[in-house]
Structure 1
Amino acid sequence: MFIQYFLRPSLFLLGALLTFFSPQGAAEITIAVVGKTKNDSFYQQSFHGCQYFANLHPALNCIYTGPDDFQDVRAQVIIVQELLEKNIDALLISTTDSDFLVKGALQEFSARNIPVITFDSDLLPQHHQYRLAYVGTNNFDFGQALGQYAKRFKHSEKQSICLQSGHKTTPNLNSRLAGVRFALAGENTPRLTGQNGWYEHPRCPLYSLGKRADSVHQLDTMLKKTPPPIFLAVAGFAQFSPDYVSTVYPYKKQIEQHKIVIISADTEDTQLDVLKQGLSVANIGQKPFEMGRLGAELLYNYLINKQRPEKSSYYLGYHYCTPENVEYCTINRKW
């Protein structure tokens, strides 16, 4: 009886030590994935990519957050500030406003030695010291790809085009706008004013802040113009709205005849559905799942192995989806 009593605490202590030192019992590492908007399937795919990597590494945990409904620079900073109080170990974030984010939160992350990697939308070059690396699309090149595709639908010597973006300060969207204009003008220009016969509609570019209702309303307004300009969105925006189909369906025949041209970035499932219905001419998509997976891997290697990313930017490719190849142009992965 005495021996049993004596051994019990020792066995308990031994079990606790084994649990502490075993891989399953290792201290959990938490990576926070923050999108520009939380309810956007693009950023949810990136979160799934982080979860996929975490599933291979039991000590790693991914959490997901962001502004609920639209690209709100203040809300994003407040959310990131709150993450500091939750003792996260690393941050994977898509930047809405570089200056505001750095001053409002990332300077404190740096002071606390919490590593940050940007995805989808990088910090501005002058702020790169506040992140380890960027993972995502080369956004200027991506804009050029969108612009090059638009060239196929130039029907007159003076071709009008309307560009739709999100927030005016968002680095990746501004790079895409610049890329579109470069592709069409053959030079860097703040606005298309006739270069190679391309003109931006007087009311454009349109800034939707990522608000779906506003995005659809802006699109509908342009479609009613005579003649309508080519409509090119540098992110999903209107196509994420539940009202997109009912708004655009009356123009279906004109879209099929290319009298109305809608080109959009991204190829989320919702967007592929409208493409199948002939309510978009083309979508050029990115790799959000891989952004989350690779971003998590780089952060994990930094935290566990003290290994800094070898490159400042990890550029991923993009793909083209049309009504002809929509069934096989891409697969949106979910963990």
Structure 2
Amino acid sequence: MRKSLLLVAAAALALGAGPAMAKKQVVIVVKGLDNPFFEAIHQGCEKWNKENASSEYECFYTGPASTSDEAGEAQIVQDVLGKADTAAIAISPSNAKLIAQTIKTANPTVPVMTLDADLAAEDSALRKTYLGTDNYLMGFKIGEYIKKGKPKGGTICTIEGNPGADNILRRAQGMRDALTGQKGLTELKGEGGWTEVAGCPVFTNDDGAKGVQAMTDILAANPKLDAFGIMGGWPLFGAPQPYRDLFKPMAERIASNDFVIGAADTIGDEVAIAKEGLVTALVGQRPFEMGYKAPSVMIDLIEGKPVEDPVFTGLDECTKDTVDTCIQK
């Protein structure tokens, strides 16, 4: 009797009626789990899982607790690439050079792509493709809005995130190029009428409260400042009330373009802040779409299918007058 039961069990396993086999993982590693932008990527990943429940692959989302933990992200990438069930990985590098070195050291046999933020151009061969925002174009559009508001130029401060984040550096370059009509300037000293004030750019490590405090300090030191270019929406979505408190007294100046603020992203409270007239323009990304598309792109890479490089996910542009229709549904 016992022998018969064992034979039945073996036959059931052979037919696939036994315990479910563990799925292969297509992994998304983000800069930090404390950022609402990356949570939107997570939600896209989870939607893909729900719609592809029968797939042999599972989208797995991870990252360090804080966006300031560059070493933590590199360690997670190293660990993920060492796991037997990892089939592919999509990385949003907080520090492009550190992640490039991590990939070189790991020498992975599975496809590697970047998401949201890319590697530096000289390290691009380490990944198969980049999926996300055209960050240079995003920064260029922010610059166009600032220039439209202040066509004769003025003084400006750029708010950036991690100094090693390639996506933020590309945005800042795009903004400077749009303001000046020149390419490649790393600091503005009067070109196109624009001058970056002392102490800028400010690097905030994607910390919203730190960004608002930095802007408070810059305004105190430069009462005649004309503009802020904010390369990530951290001060607006990460510290919305302190941001409002800082700029409500300047609402009339913002409305008349006497003071101009161009900022990245359209998440959290940002669109509401635009509707309140406390930012001149927002140029937003589509993080949910990034998270939703990434698993399919990774599977195409696994299967050796052709994948474009880069794969851009588009932009949304919001002003006070367009907030009701500016976000792609």
Q: What TM-score, normalized to structure 1?
A: 0.87
Query: Where does residue 160 of structure 1 map in the other structure?
Result: 155
Counterpart Cα distance in 2 of 1:72 and 1:114 = 25
Judging changes above 3 Å, is the alpha-carbon distance between structure 1 residues 270 and 228 closer, same or farther for their aligned structure 2 residues?
same
Matched, 1:35 2:30: yes
Q: Is the 8 A contact 2:35 2:67 kept in 1?
A: no
Query: Where does residue 88 of structure 2 map in the other structure?
Result: 90
Query: Where does residue 218 of structure 1 map in the other structure?
Result: 214
Q: Is the 8 A contact 1:223 1:260 kept in 2?
A: no
Query: Where does residue 275 of structure 1 map in the other structure?
Result: 274
Matched, 1:197 2:176: no
Aligned-pair CA distance for 1:36: 1.7
Question: Which AA in structure 2 matches 1:272?
Answer: V
| SS of the residue 1:31 aligns to | strand
Q: Is the 8 A contact 1:69 1:211 kept in 2?
A: no
Q: Is there any run of 5+ residues in structure 2 with no aligned partner, and where?
A: none
Judging changes above 3 Å, is the alpha-carbon distance between structure 1 residues 163 and 20 closer, same or farther for their aligned structure 2 residues?
farther
Q: Is the 8 A contact 1:97 1:170 kept in 2?
A: yes
Q: Is the 8 A contact 1:72 1:209 kept in 2?
A: no
Q: Is there any run of 5+ residues in structure 1 with no aligned partner, and where?
A: none
Counterpart Cα distance in 1 of 2:145 and 2:208 = 24
Aligned-pair CA distance for 1:293: 1.9
Query: Where does residue 71 of structure 2 map in the other structure?
Result: 74
Question: Which AA in structure 2 matches 1:296?
Answer: P
Judging changes above 3 Å, is the alpha-carbon distance between structure 1 residues 254 and 324 closer, same or farther for their aligned structure 2 residues?
same
Counterpart Cα distance in 2 of 1:19 and 1:200 = 65
Give CA-to-partner distance per residue, 1:17-63, whole Å, 9 cap, x none: 23269xx9454021222222211121111122222222232233223
Counterpart Cα distance in 2 of 1:112 and 1:190 = 34
| SS of the residue 1:135 aligns to | strand
Q: Is the 8 A contact 1:132 1:309 kept in 2?
A: no
Query: Where does residue 140 of structure 1 map in the other structure?
Result: 136
Matched, 1:8 2:10: no
Aligned-pair CA distance for 1:143: 1.4
Question: Which AA in structure 2 matches 1:290?
Answer: E
Task: Count residues in correspondence.
Answer: 322
Question: Which AA in structure 2 matches 1:319?
Answer: D
> Equivalences for 1:91-130 in 2 at 5 Å?
91-103=89-101, 105-109=102-106, 111-130=107-126
Judging changes above 3 Å, is the alpha-carbon distance between structure 1 residues 309 and 121 closer, same or farther for their aligned structure 2 residues?
farther
Q: Is the 8 A contact 1:262 1:282 kept in 2?
A: yes
Counterpart Cα distance in 2 of 1:42 and 1:256 = 27
| SS of the residue 2:217 aligns to | helix
Counterpart Cα distance in 1 of 2:16 and 2:268 = 43
Aligned-pair CA distance for 1:108: 4.3
Counterpart Cα distance in 2 of 1:150 and 1:20 = 62
Counterpart Cα distance in 2 of 1:177 and 1:251 = 24
Question: Which AA in structure 2 matches 1:178?
Answer: Q
Aligned-pair CA distance for 1:134: 0.4
Query: Where does residue 63 of structure 1 map in the other structure?
Result: 60
Q: Is the 8 A contact 2:263 2:282 kept in 1?
A: yes
Question: Which AA in structure 2 matches 1:269?
Answer: G
Query: Where does residue 284 of structure 1 map in the other structure?
Result: 283
Aligned-pair CA distance for 1:99: 1.9
> Equivalences for 1:253-272 in 2 at 5 Å?
253-272=252-271
Q: Is the 8 A contact 1:67 1:75 kept in 2?
A: yes
Aligned-pair CA distance for 1:10: 3.0
Aligned match for 2:204, one of 203, 208, 212:
208
Q: CA RMSD in A?
A: 2.3
Aligned-pair CA distance for 1:85: 5.0
Counterpart Cα distance in 1 of 2:25 and 2:125 = 22
Q: Is the 8 A contact 2:139 2:231 kept in 1?
A: yes
Counterpart Cα distance in 1 of 2:146 and 2:173 = 14
Judging changes above 3 Å, is the alpha-carbon distance between structure 1 residues 216 and 151 closer, same or farther for their aligned structure 2 residues?
same
Q: What TM-score, normalized to structure 2?
A: 0.89
> Equivalences for 1:10-29 in 2 at 5 Å?
10-19=7-16, 25-29=20-24
Question: Which AA in structure 2 matches 1:96?
Answer: S
Counterpart Cα distance in 2 of 1:209 and 1:309 = 36
Give CA-to-partner distance per residue, 1:90-128, whole Å, 9 cap, x none: 21111122221122x21244x341221101111112222
Identical-residue share of aligned pairs (%): 26
Aligned match for 1:149, one of 126, 132, 145:
145
| SS of the residue 2:80 aligns to | helix
Question: Which AA in structure 1 matches 2:251?
Answer: K
